[in-house]
């Protein structure tokens, strides 16, 4: 990854990049912090600001978005439940980077928490002269007095890990500290860590992630830590994982061979590593009652893909693992998405035609049979499992819909779920409608989508479609103040204008299990683009919108989606929004973390893969003489996952070929773009002004 602006560009570039230079006149824009590239970014930013901030509604939108994002009536989600203590990261106008705070579980469940600030991230950053962005805290069970706090400088994926004492409320002097890197760190016990990090030359994979896990004892320098296991340079990463199971801790090492394949190893007696029987394409989801719960992405014998299976860990550790027992199988429309374990209950969140449902599973120790109990939450809603109180066998779930404000619900071993907190509406939902529809893609597949509109709207109106279509990530409808993802309340603003907002559930995601994802992998990627086209054409066929007045939006992998869509069907779309996007698929595997995604897209360095990728790689398919819809690129300079060169080069090429481009590159924030709500609010207002300017007026 390119960092230094003091070096010349030639010194920064790899041999492969230099060899490609004659064919790519925009290669210099890959120099992330280079003076020439940054000067160009600042000019583009200024041009966009000059146009869009002049919109009469910009400041109103920005202020309203900021008020919604900073609203103190937001739900304080239980980010962690540490015994009888609930932890939460709270962000508002006064605390943009957040307060990490705690309250007791009883008052939290009663809806009357008394919060105590543990770490003020803004104050810490000011005191230490760092632009700290919170990543996570890992607190050692069962007493939870010591935590590993991960903080990122500016919001990058790389972070610093520091030991914190919850009892004293201070970082531990002379305690464990892992320097800035893309690290994975796990507690073995109070005096021992497993650390995967950047140990210097040769210690990282080609994807830029750790390939060596070491055991680090308290009171010794990290340099003296002993190697536990090494992976290969061609792997994606090697990471430790420790699971608490009642009073026992189980230690695993996950050697990710690629994005979708891994070897799972279990540490047995005396530190001996045992290869588990988990198939390389399967995923460890939880540990409960001495069993590891595994999700199958491919069939295993007669057990279908998308099922949960279990193996006894004692047998695995002894090298005696037999056939797995089946825990739960999917149906044609109800698939397993998320799994959490408390001491005695396995909680499973399903997607039933893209709507969330919750099951509680328990195992009869006498018969080995798993029984299930449905826990009703809400109809046609998005459900996320957000925390668990292990000893009480309680799960917390957030529940929301496009017109239903978020609520926090708690479910226990018996009885119905109860509402812990329900947010007041941010808008009058009675003015709008939301319906689920289905479009028919090119190959006949039914593609679901959610459509939100103002009641009584007649005739074709401008429409905004947001989609993703990759990495098994299902897109489920959230409250309109948070749609689309990372765009603040843009969805609400848009439907209030009398327009249509659409969330499309195209293939490549996990809406219908592993097969839905596999249908858009590698050489099948065109299916995702065809699905998006099908949704747009269905909007036209049903009179919702019309050609040239449909905007498409996508982030990250969604940038490939909307980039391919605009180059394949420039006649169909009237505007394009691409956030932190992938665009140059010929070079992506050589930029930032791109090498880790070859299983998803293909390897452009292999002629047989580039043969199918070349047909849809957005950057390579921009042609002179073609009129493309106006495009808005937003991203972060600090993004160390998707290289900012993708958006920069795509923007430059489109502009040089005479096409309108809007551009907003924020200097902090990482792949999530916004380091705080102020930036999120600005982005929402800019995007709203862009859409109004390009497709929100009279028919063009």
Query: Could you list the active site residues?
Result: 556, 671
Q: Chain-centre distance of CA 110, in angstroms? A: 31
Closest residue by Cα to residue 561 from 546, 576, 575, 574:
576
421 vs 411: CA distance, rounded Å: 13
Tokens representing residue 203 in the block: 């210690």
484 vs 499: CA distance, rounded Å: 14
- 441 prior amide bond cis, ω within 30: no
- SS3 readout for 656-697: HCCCCEEEEEECCCHHHCCCCHHHHHHHHHHHHHHHHHHHCC
Give the ranges where 78-195 is alpha helix by DSSP (H): 105-109, 121-128
368 vs 26: CA distance, rounded Å: 62
Yes or no: say if 21 and 10 are a contact pair by the CB < 8 Å rule.
Answer: no
Partners of residue 33 on adjacent β-strands: none
347 vs 631: CA distance, rounded Å: 42
598 vs 579: CA distance, rounded Å: 21
324 vs 313: CA distance, rounded Å: 11
Strand 334-341, strand 346-352: pairing: antiparallel
Which residues lie closer than 8 Å to 480 by C-beta, 6 or more apart? 402, 403, 427, 432, 452, 489, 491, 492, 495, 501
Give the ranges where 487-525 is alpha helix by DSSP (H): 490-496, 514-518
DSSP 8-state secondary structure symbol assigned to residue 88 = E
DSSP state letters, 280-348: TT-EEEEEETTEEEEE-SS-BTTBPTT-EEEEEHHHHHTT---SPEEEE---SSEEEEEEEE-SS-EEE
437: part of which helix (H) or strand (E)?
strand 432-440
579: part of which helix (H) or strand (E)?
strand 575-579
595: part of which helix (H) or strand (E)?
none
Yes or no: say if 423 and 74 are a contact pair by the CB < 8 Å rule.
Answer: yes
Tokens representing residue 303 in the block: 């057990």
598-617 burial, b if ≥16 CB within 10 A, otherwise e?
Answer: bbbbbebeeeebbebbeebb
249 vs 143: CA distance, rounded Å: 13
Tokens representing residue 423 in the block: 């947010």
Yes or no: say if 664 and 647 are a contact pair by the CB < 8 Å rule.
Answer: no
308 vs 511: CA distance, rounded Å: 17
């Amino acid at each position: 990854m390119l960092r230094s602006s003091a070096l010349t560009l030639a010194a920064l570039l790899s041999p492969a990049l230099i060899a490609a230079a004659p064919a790519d006149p925009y290669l210099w824009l890959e120099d992330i912090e280079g003076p020439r590239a940054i000067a160009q970014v600042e000019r583009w930013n200024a041009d966009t600001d000059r146009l869009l901030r002049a919109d009469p509604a910009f400041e109103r939108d920005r202020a309203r978005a900021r008020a919604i994002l900073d609203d103190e009536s937001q739900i304080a989600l239980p980010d962690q439940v540490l015994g009888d203590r609930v932890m939460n990261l709270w962000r508002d106008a006064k605390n943009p980077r957040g307060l990490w705070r705690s309250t007791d579980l009883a008052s939290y469940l009663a809806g009357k928490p008394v919060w105590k600030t543990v770490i003020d991230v803004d104050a810490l950053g000011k005191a230490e002269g760092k632009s700290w962005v919170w990543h996570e805290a890992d607190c050692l069970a069962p007493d939870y007095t010591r935590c590993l706090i991960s903080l990122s400088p500016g919001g990058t994926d790389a972070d610093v890990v520091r030991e914190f004492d919850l009892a004293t409320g201070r970082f531990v002097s002379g305690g464990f500290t892992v320097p800035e890197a893309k690290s994975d760190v796990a507690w073995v016990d109070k005096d021992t860590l497993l650390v995967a990090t950047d140990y210097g030359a040769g210690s990282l994979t080609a994807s830029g992630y750790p390939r060596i896990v070491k055991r680090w004892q308290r009171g010794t320098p990290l340099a003296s830590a002993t190697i536990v296991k090494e992976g290969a340079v061609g792997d994606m990463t090697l990471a430790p994982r420790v699971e608490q199971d009642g009073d026992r801790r189980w230690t695993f090492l996950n050697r990710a061979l690629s994005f979708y394949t891994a070897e799972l190893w279990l540490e047995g007696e005396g530190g001996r590593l045992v290869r588990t029987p988990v198939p390389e394409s399967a995923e460890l989801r939880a540990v409960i009652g001495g069993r590891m719960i595994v999700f199958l992405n491919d069939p295993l014998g007669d057990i279908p893909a998308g099922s949960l299976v279990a193996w006894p860990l004692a047998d695995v550790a002894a090298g005696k693992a037999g056939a797995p027992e089946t825990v739960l199988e999917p149906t044609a429309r109800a698939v397993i998405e998320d799994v959490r374990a408390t001491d005695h209950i396995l909680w499973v969140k399903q997607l039933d035609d893209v709507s969330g449902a919750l099951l509680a599973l328990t195992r009869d120790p006498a018969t080995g049979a798993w029984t299930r109990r449905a826990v009703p939450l809400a109809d046609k809603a998005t459900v996320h499992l957000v925390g668990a109180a292990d000893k009480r066998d309680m799960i917390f779930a957030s529940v929301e819909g496009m017109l239903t404000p978020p609520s926090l619900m708690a479910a226990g071993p018996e009885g119905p779920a109860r509402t812990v907190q329900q947010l007041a509406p941010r808008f009058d939902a009675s003015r709008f409608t939301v319906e689920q529809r289905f479009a028919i893609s090119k190959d006949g597949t039914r593609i679901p989508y959610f459509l939100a509109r103002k009641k009584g709207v007649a005739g074709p109106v401008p429409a905004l479609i947001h989609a993703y279509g990759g990495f098994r990530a299902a897109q489920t409808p959230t409250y309109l103040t948070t749609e689309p993802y990372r765009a603040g309340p843009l969805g609400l603003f848009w439907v209030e204008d009398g327009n249509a907002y659409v969330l499309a559930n195209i293939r490549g995601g996990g809406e219908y299990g592993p097969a839905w994802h596999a249908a858009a992998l590698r050489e099948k990627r065109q299916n995702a683009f065809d699905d998006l086209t099908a949704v747009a054409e269905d909007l036209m066929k049903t009179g919702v919108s019309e050609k040239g007045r449909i905007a498409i939006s996508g982030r990250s992998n969604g940038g490939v989606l909307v980039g391919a869509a605009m180059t394949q069907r420039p006649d169909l779309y009237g505007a394009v929004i691409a956030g932190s996007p992938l665009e140059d698929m010929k070079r992506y595997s050589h930029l930032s973390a791109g090498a880790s995604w070859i299983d998803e897209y293909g390897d452009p360095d292999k002629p047989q893969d580039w043969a199918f990728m070349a047909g849809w790689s957005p950057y390579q398919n921009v042609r002179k003489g073609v009129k493309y819809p106006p495009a808005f690129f937003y991203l972060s300079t600090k993004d160390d996952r998707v290289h900012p060169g993708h958006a920069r080069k795509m923007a430059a090429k489109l502009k040089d070929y005479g096409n309108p481009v809007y551009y907003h590159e924020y200097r902090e924030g990482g792949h999530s773009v916004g380091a705080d709500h102020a930036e999120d609010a600005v982005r929402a207002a800019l995007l709203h002004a862009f859409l109004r300017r390009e497709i929100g007026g009279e028919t063009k």
